[in-house]
Amino acid sequence: MTKAPLRVLVYGDVNLNLIDGSAIWLTSVVHMLKQDPSIHVDVLLKRSIVKPEVTASIRELPNVRFLDVFGETSPKKDEPYYEKKVLEPSEAAQLIHELMMSGSYDLAFIRGFQLAYNLSAYKDTMAKTWTYITDFTHDHTQASDEELARLKQIASRSARMLCQTSAMKDYFETFLPTERPFLILNPMIPNVKEATPSFAKPNDRLVYTGKFAPLWYSSEILTAFAKLRAAHPTAELHVAGDKFNQDPNNPNFRKDVTHRLGHDPGVTWLKGIPRRDVETLIESSAVGVSWRHPELDASLELSTKLLEYGALGKPVLLNRNPMHELILGADYPLFVNSESEFIDKARLALTDATIYREAAKRLYDMAQYYTFTNTHARLRDELWAMKKLTIVFAGHDLKFLKLFMQKFSENPRFNVLVDQWDGHKIHNVNHSKACLEQADIIFCEWGLGNAVWYSEHKLPHQKLIVRIHRQEKETPFPRQYNLHNIDKIILVSPYMLEEMYRLFRIPRHKMTMIYNAVDGKRLAQPKVKQDLTFHLGMIGVNPKLKRLDLALDLLEQLLQQDRRYKLFIKGHHPNEIYWINKREDERAYYDKLLARLEEPQFQTSVQFDGHGDDVAEWLQKIGFVLSMSDLESFHLAPAEAMTSGTYPLIRHWTGSETIYPDALLLEDVSDAVGIIRSYADDSDRLLEAAKPLQTYAFEHFAVETLAKKLEQLILEALSETEKH
C-alpha cells in the first residue's frame, strides 16, 4: 500500500440519520476533504445509519469508508455502547484515541465540545486533532470558570482549533491563548455549477429547508406565510426537514408544527429528503426563507442554508444583523425582522423583478467563497502539513532542478532530501540507502546511473520519477532501467520525448513532458535602456557545441556597421573548465577561439562577465541573447532571456521548434544581423517587441506554473493503485 494518501478520521457528536445543520456539516467536511483525491476519509459513526438521506452523497465518493462499531462483525461487542447502539462523548473519545494510536490516520477531524474535552485527556491524539466546536457559551464573560478552563485545555492541546467565521476567530483569540493560529472552517456548500443562474423568478414559491425549533421561527414562518397567501394567493411554501427541537414553553410544539405542515393551505412538507433533492427543490423555487428569532442575531455563526439558497441563485428573506450586513451589505433589500416585514418583503421579491434579481445576485456572488473547492483551497496546505511527503532528489548535477527543489522545500506538503551523486555512476551507497528508507517519492535528475540504481532498489510503496535531458541518449543507461519500477519519465521537450521513444522504445504512457523552469519573479527586472540595443549576450559557452565562434561571426558583421555592438558572456571562461584540457578536440577549438578574441576588433567588444547566480541582474543590460548551439535538449538561456524581457535569437537546432516560437528561430546566423540592426537606438521598440515573448515565457517556463504541474504529476502518481 502506498504511504502517499493523507488519512483522516472524521467524527462528529451528531446523529447522521437526521437532516439538520450539524449532520450536513459533517458530510460537508467529507466533501471538502475529498476535493483532493489523495485524501482518504474514514467516518466514525455515532449511531448506525438507518436513514441514508444525509450520507447518500458521501457514500458515493472514492476512498470514503464508514466505521460502524455496532454491526454484526464489530470487534467491540463487549463494550457497553454496543448494546446501547450509540456512542457517548467519553466512549467516542476513547475509540478515536485507539484508532489514532493504531497508526492508521494522520489527522482526526472532530466536532463537539464535550467530545473535544474528553479527547483532550489523550494528549498524543489531541496533537493530531483538528477541533471544531460551537456548543459553548459564546460570551465568555458569561461562561463558568469550569467551561473556560475546559475551552482553554481543548485549545492548547488541539493540533488546530477551527472557527466558523473570522468574527469567531477574533473572539476566540481574545481569551484562548494557543501557539498555533486558529483556522477558519466556514460553512460549506456544494461547488457552484458552471452555468450562472438566470436570477429570474420561476414561480411564487417560497422554500424552507432545515430543522424545526422555536428560535428558528418554525411557527412564526407558517403564520406569516398564511397572511402572505391571503394577500398573494399564488404564493406557496415548500418545506424539507424532519428534525424537531423541543420547546420548553410548549410541550405540544412538535405536534402543532407537524399538523400545520400537513394541513395549512399552500404548504407542502416533503419531510426528510437527500441533499441532492434539497438542491433540486431550491432550484425549482423562487425565494429562500431564513427568518429567525432576534436572540440569534448576536451569533457569530453563519447559516449554511443561507449559503445553499445563494449558491443556487435564490434571494433570501433573512434577519438584519451585523453578520448579515457584513457579508451582504446594509442595503440588501430583503432583510426582515418582524412578521409585517416578512410579508412585505416576500411580496416585494415576488412582484419586483429588479429587486429579485439584485438580491439573488448578491447572495450568489457571496456564496462563491464558501464552496467545497474554495474552502479546501484555503485549508489545503494546513491539512497536508499534518503529513509531509518525503521526496528525494537524486543526481550528479542538480542545477536545472534548483528552482523546483526550492518550491518543494517551501511547500508544507513535502519534506525534501538530497542524494548528491559524484558522477554518472559514483555515489555514496549508504547515503542513498538512507534516503531510500525515508522516501515517498524519488526524483532522479538526469536518467543516468542514478535512475538505474533507484529503479532496482525502490520499494513497492514508493514512486520513482526520472527526468531526462539529452545526454542520456548517448549513454547505455536507458537500456539498463528497470522500467517496471519507474512510474514516470519526464522529458524537457517534445522532441526529446520522441527521441527516447525512437531510440529506446520507452512506452509512451510512461513519458510526459515538462519544460525546464525559470524564476519568473526574479528575472522580470527593469532594463537599463542605455545602449540596450547594442548589447548582445550569451549564457554559457562551454562545450564547443555552444558555438561561440558563430556568435563572433555575427558580432563581426555587426561591428562592420556600428562599433557600438558588444558581446557579453555570462558563465565560466573556457580556461576555468578542467575537462577541456582532457579533450583534444575541445582544447583545439578553444585555443583557436581565444586567439581570435585577441584580434583588435574583439578586444573591446567581447567581455567575459564570469559565472555567478546573478543572471537576472546581468540580463538587465542585455538587449539580445544568442543561442548558437549545434544541438540542445532545451537550452535555458533563451527561456531566461524571454522571461526577463530580453529578445532571444536562436539558431534552429533540432527540437527548438517544439519549445520556442518560430519567429525566434534562425536558419542562417547572418539572418540575425538584420533583426538586430532594425532596433538600433530604439530600446523602447525592442522592449515592446519582447513583451509578447515575455508573456509566452511566463506561461510556458515560469517555475510558478511548472512546479504546480510537477506537483500534480507526483500526486497523480501517488494516487494510482499499486502496479501488478
Domain limits, the chain = 6-184, 205-370, 388-513, 520-701
Domain 205-370: state its class: alpha beta
pLDDT band at residue 250 using 50, 70 and 90 as cut-offs: very high
- How does pLDDT run across 355-396, given as a tens digit for each residue? 999 999 999 999 999 999 999 999 998 998 888 789 999 999
Strand partners, 268: 238
pLDDT band at residue 350 using 50, 70 and 90 as cut-offs: very high
- How does pLDDT run across 475-512, given as a tens digit for each residue? 999 999 999 999 999 999 999 999 999 999 999 999 99
Contact status, residue 350 vs residue 287, Cβ threshold 8 Å = yes
Helix (H) or strand (E) holding 93: helix 89-101
Query: How does the average pLDDT of the chain come out, rounded?
Result: 93
How many CB atoms within 10 Å of residue 586?
18
Is it the case that residue 2 has pLDDT exceeding 60?
no
pTM exceeds 0.85, yes or no: no
pLDDT at 338: 97
Is it the case that residue 339 has pLDDT exceeding 80?
yes
Contact status, residue 69 vs residue 81, Cβ threshold 8 Å = yes
Is it the case that residue 165 has pLDDT exceeding 90?
no
Pairwise pLDDT comparison (97 vs 724), residue with the higher score: 97
pLDDT at 4: 56
Contacts of 226 (CB under 8 A, 6+ apart): 264, 265, 266
User: Helices (DSSP H) in 301-427: which residue ranges?
Assistant: 304-311, 322-328, 339-351, 353-367, 372-384, 402-410
Handedness of CA 11, 14, 19, 21 (dihedral sign): negative
**Residue-wise DSSP of 116-159:** HHHHTT-HHHHTTEEEE---S-SSTTTS-HHHHHHHHHHHHHSS
* Strand positions, DSSP E, 260-413: 267-269, 287-290, 316-318, 389-395
Is it the case that residue 413 has pLDDT exceeding 80?
no
Question: How far from the centroid of its chain's Cα atoms is residue 202's Cα?
Answer: 37
Handedness of CA 359, 361, 367, 369 (dihedral sign): negative
Strand partners, 378: none
CATH architecture of 388-513: 3-Layer(aba) Sandwich (3.40)
First to last CA, the chain: 12
What does the pLDDT average to over 406-434? 93
Is it the case that residue 722 has pLDDT exceeding 60?
no
User: In this structure, what DSSP letter does residue 277 have?
Assistant: H
Is it the case that residue 711 has pLDDT exceeding 70?
yes
Q: Minimum mean pLDDT among 50-54, 65-69, 140-144, 453-457: which range?
A: 140-144
pLDDT band at residue 3 using 50, 70 and 90 as cut-offs: very low
CATH number of 6-184: 3.40.50.2000
User: In this structure, what DSSP letter does residue 300 have?
Assistant: S
What does the pLDDT average to over 104-110? 94
pLDDT > 70: percent of the chain: 98
Is it the case that residue 139 has pLDDT exceeding 90?
no
Query: How big is the chain by its Cα radius of gyration, in Å?
Result: 33
Q: Minimum mean pLDDT among 41-45, 223-227, 410-414, 427-431: which range?
A: 410-414
Q: Which amino acid is at 495?
A: Y
C-alpha cell at 170: 477574533
What does the pLDDT average to over 141-159? 89
Helix (H) or strand (E) holding 92: helix 89-101
Contact status, residue 659 vs residue 515, Cβ threshold 8 Å = yes
State the Cα–Cα distance between residues 176 and 225, nearest whole angstrom.
43
State the Cα–Cα distance between residues 191 and 548, nearest whole angstrom.
56
CATH 3.40.50.2000 fits 520-701, yes or no: yes
Contact status, residue 225 vs residue 265, Cβ threshold 8 Å = no
Q: Which amino acid is at 5?
A: P
Contact status, residue 586 vs residue 556, Cβ threshold 8 Å = no
Is it the case that residue 719 has pLDDT exceeding 90?
no
The answer to whether domain 6-184 and domain 205-370 are alike in fold is: yes
pLDDT band at residue 137 using 50, 70 and 90 as cut-offs: low
pLDDT band at residue 415 using 50, 70 and 90 as cut-offs: confident
